[in-house]
Structure 1
């Protein structure tokens, strides 16, 4: 990890100018409390693209006008996920992005998983018991009108408390070699992640090259689907899920042919007939029941948020089973079915070690029923999958290689040389657009999504445990500048609440807009008793 000292004399001078021109006059030493110590901003390092450092620099330059000193701390993506996103290791501030994964079209991810007391994804460590009780209750509200009202109330409470706040919504780009590949379809309204049908399963080779080369970065920690947290979509190419998100945001049947609630707490699922695992064994309800009961028993941390309401699974016949729930769960079809997968019982039921630590590659059990089967992994170099021809939705090409190139410049060069056929995510969307304009062999599409960049702050420590400080930091978050300078215009301004405004069915558009205003932010701090010394540095309220 490299630490970048952002505080400079120039920035401190700007802070002093902003102070003397807008809010009060310099305080005397006896009027001031303790100096606010330097704060860190953690963000995804260059392996996840340049926009996170650029955005963090922009935010820091504005926040320093409040009299703060900021240090920038880039962290490699998989480390960031394990230590901060789900590891509880946020020190001060983080600028992060969460993708437009299928389950995130439901409000539970935004209102409960990221904000309720004690939830593993609640990286900002905020805890409000009243809010959390309502966030928990809305998950079991099968009455849509009541649930919408509860979700609206949650957004109001969240806005008032400001535990974290969104900055932009992602515009995802997809760039591909149109000389080699056709029928490349957009997965809108979500980004082209591996959990989607498009573009992956409908692409057609136009020549003799029947291996799709995707330029990405190294984010896989394990091919054990019970333990992987960063590359869950990639692993689900191999381990098929019961459902997938369709183009209208609904859940479409996938490994499950159909499902229905036979009562408030029992979901009956019928599997698609004729499915096989990659070793040729048939997929049955017995495999699904084994997998779900194993997951409920083990409670893998990577899956805990999605299975909290599950009690057990029971077989009905060879292709049918019931999922029993502890309580009604209005979000389960959206959050669970596109995420939960089927393990082959015959390869897992007799394993006696720590199932979460199982080395599935060493033991040769990277075997699922998905559209691709595992072939090879050379860490920080390449992941290679083969097309599972027996799959009902098998691709018309022979396999998929993910080249772990990491840096945007390397992906750009590989696209131009023909080494890479497809790029998503890591190469900035604006750069994809430019490349397509300059090269007839490259095609580009961009799509709005509910993927979100946001500011997390550690609500358990000062100064972030002070509502006034959080509100001031939010007021001085320059969303427009982040969009124009870090994303070169390829992003959308986020609204005021925790739910993305792209999810119009759930977003509360009555929330007031928080405009960027340094003077107003400084006034919030002054009204709360904070003060500035002659150097323009921010101090806590005096005792």
Structure 2
């Protein structure tokens, strides 16, 4: 069959010589969360679908609640086309290794965080090299190279780095006790530990638009879930407000060469069930990550050759390869878990098809600054301050309320039903106006190290074609997304590394990105895609194998 090629100027039919063309591309489905809970995401997807339709694609926007979206994208990896997604800012992501390696390395494609199935041997080599390179200047060059490869391949369509906006009741909490963490904002573990009550109200009551999927130290199940398990579980190291690693459950750590690090465990720590935290627990925590039962955590511990327990409270980690990011990306990532609780569970799971990601404790037990009290599904999670912790919170309880509607969350803040607005995806001007009117609210905004994007399923045609992905990405002006969907409270993106991480951020891949309908049309034309009757067709004699 012969079709006319795309016009770079208007996508009209050219009168030039006909070219061989394949089948019409099936209708493309794009997932988004509901408008009420995630208006910025919903509006972004609507704008993107509008631009893609101009290229001759039939685009269906499918609205899914977070739990369903996560299940389809994560566990049915061959059954979706594209989805709105986000990588939240987490302290350990202040080192770019987690994003550069874990999100895109081919070793994590089957069950790990590379859920889009991106495979590129050249990228794999660069991602591995940057995590082994000790020289910071050379490592920076490799991080820049990784960003350049991704900008060329466009395995995902990067959209924005949001300016996260939070608010709290300054008559309940001392503003001086609120910690603004670099690349994270004020919703962070340091804030929740340090918030100082000014009166009788001593419970931190905050909101989330998404439900919690799991409270599981071996499963990275979502951004909101991480708020919980970062409080319930300790780590050897925590990333401080300045973005640098600080000894935490480790009293100290010291490198002995480029592949050996000695850790001294803090004395007197206890699990929430009263039993002592031991070096054996710590060793088990890292071994559990590579047991085959925790695929999302495996990349962070896979470089450990062995862990030796020494006299008293010391552990010696021997690495397979040097790792510049080990302290932040491994010691600051792996949750410490009680061996007496998890060892029998993992041994049992090894005999079953499921892994540890499917396991939910009735009463999660950690050693962190807050203890689990209760979880009412779709309603709230309550944690109680662990007053015996070495950095005991000043608040009494941490109460997370599930509030799917953005306007309702603002109303609850103004009425006092919540006193910390932790999740706000609406127009920041609404918050600023409320603060001006009420007088008791303080609003804080900062650029996040996380990012919003559209994930392309690289396993499925036509998304397995880099040229097609480049065209779809180029079809959308990121400034349109910034202005229309985020009301100006975001930075346009074409890089997985946020400008909040200035040392690692390759600004050139953002500045050099060109977008527009004409550019996208030319990319499709050059790759052999054609139009007939307003429908985009595959190049050559390619068949549509996934049409329903």
* TM-score of the aligned structures, taking structure 1 as reference length: 0.89
The SS at the match of 2:450 is strand
Aligned-pair CA distance for 1:249: 1.5
Work out whether 1:60 is the aligned partner of 2:58. Answer: no
User: 1:223-259, CA deviations, whole angstroms, 9 ceiling, x for partnerless residues?
Assistant: 3322452213311211111222222211112111221
What is the CA–CA distance in structure 2 between the aligned matches of 1:396 and 1:58, rounded to whole Å?
A: 45
What is the CA–CA distance in structure 1 between the aligned matches of 2:81 and 2:17, rounded to whole Å?
A: 28
| 4+ residue segments displaced more than 6 Å | 17-20, 26-30
Aligned-pair CA distance for 1:484: 1.0
What is the CA–CA distance in structure 2 between the aligned matches of 1:156 and 1:86, rounded to whole Å?
A: 29
Aligned to 2:180: 187
Aligned to 2:361: 360
What is the CA–CA distance in structure 1 between the aligned matches of 2:140 and 2:265, rounded to whole Å?
A: 31
Change beyond 3 A, Cα 1:237–1:456: same
Aligned-pair CA distance for 1:166: 1.5
Q: Superposed, which structure 2 residues align to 1:361-440 within 5 Å?
A: 361=362, 364=363, 366-428=364-426, 430=428, 431-440=430-439
Of the structure 1 ranges 51-60 and 467-476, higher mean CA displacement relative to structure 2 is found in 467-476
The SS at the match of 2:439 is coil
Aligned to 1:160: 152
What is the CA–CA distance in structure 1 between the aligned matches of 2:220 and 2:116, rounded to whole Å?
A: 22
Aligned length: 522
Aligned to 1:466: 465
Q: 1:178 aligns with which of 170, 173, 178?
A: 170
Aligned-pair CA distance for 1:87: 5.8
What is the CA–CA distance in structure 2 between the aligned matches of 1:262 and 1:198, rounded to whole Å?
A: 30
What is the CA–CA distance in structure 2 between the aligned matches of 1:77 and 1:193, rounded to whole Å?
A: 24
What is the CA–CA distance in structure 1 between the aligned matches of 2:524 and 2:321, rounded to whole Å?
A: 44
Aligned-pair CA distance for 1:288: 1.2
Aligned-pair CA distance for 1:438: 2.9
Change beyond 3 A, Cα 1:269–1:299: farther
Work out whether 1:521 is the aligned partner of 2:530. Answer: no
Aligned to 1:7: none
Aligned to 2:249: 255
Change beyond 3 A, Cα 1:210–1:343: same
Change beyond 3 A, Cα 1:282–1:20: closer
Aligned to 2:454: 455
The SS at the match of 1:58 is helix
User: 1:282-321, CA deviations, whole angstroms, 9 ceiling, x for partnerless residues?
Assistant: 3232321232233333441231231221233221133211
Unaligned 5+ segments in structure 2 are 1-5, 350-354, 542-548
Work out whether 1:123 is the aligned partner of 2:115. Answer: yes
Aligned to 1:220: 212
Change beyond 3 A, Cα 1:88–1:262: farther
User: 1:325-375, CA deviations, whole angstroms, 9 ceiling, x for partnerless residues?
Assistant: 2222222211122221222334444555338255421xx4x2221100011
User: 1:488-508, CA deviations, whole angstroms, 9 ceiling, x for partnerless residues?
Assistant: 1111111x3333333221222
The SS at the match of 2:452 is strand
Change beyond 3 A, Cα 1:450–1:90: farther
Aligned to 1:12: none
Q: Superposed, which structure 2 residues align to 1:58-137 within 5 Å?
A: 58-84=47-73, 88-89=77-78, 91-119=80-108, 120-137=112-129
Aligned-pair CA distance for 1:30: 7.8
What is the CA–CA distance in structure 1 between the aligned matches of 2:483 and 2:7, rounded to whole Å?
A: 23
Aligned-pair CA distance for 1:24: 5.7
Change beyond 3 A, Cα 1:433–1:86: farther
Aligned to 1:294: 288
CA contact (8 A) 1:167 1:493 kept: yes
Of the structure 1 ranges 389-398 and 406-415, higher mean CA displacement relative to structure 2 is found in 406-415
Q: 2:262 aligns with which of 268, 279, 285?
A: 268
Aligned-pair CA distance for 1:161: 2.1
Q: Superposed, which structure 2 residues align to 1:21-60 within 5 Å?
A: 21=10, 25=14, 32-46=21-35, 48-60=37-49
CA contact (8 A) 2:215 2:228 kept: no
Q: How large is the RMSD of aligned CA atoms in angstroms?
A: 2.7
What is the CA–CA distance in structure 1 between the aligned matches of 2:520 and 2:342, rounded to whole Å?
A: 56
What is the CA–CA distance in structure 2 between the aligned matches of 1:412 and 1:449, rounded to whole Å?
A: 21
Aligned to 2:485: 486
User: 1:416-451, CA deviations, whole angstroms, 9 ceiling, x for partnerless residues?
Assistant: 221111112244251433332332122110011211
Of the structure 1 ranges 252-261 and 144-153, higher mean CA displacement relative to structure 2 is found in 144-153
Unaligned 5+ segments in structure 1 are 1-16
CA contact (8 A) 1:177 1:421 kept: yes
Work out whether 1:199 is the aligned partner of 2:200. Answer: no
What is the CA–CA distance in structure 2 between the aligned matches of 1:414 and 1:137, rounded to whole Å?
A: 49
The SS at the match of 1:500 is coil
CA contact (8 A) 2:40 2:425 kept: no
Change beyond 3 A, Cα 1:243–1:89: farther
The SS at the match of 2:215 is coil
* TM-score of the aligned structures, taking structure 2 as reference length: 0.88
Q: 1:327 aligns with which of 307, 321, 324?
A: 321
CA contact (8 A) 1:86 1:122 kept: no
Aligned-pair CA distance for 1:125: 1.4
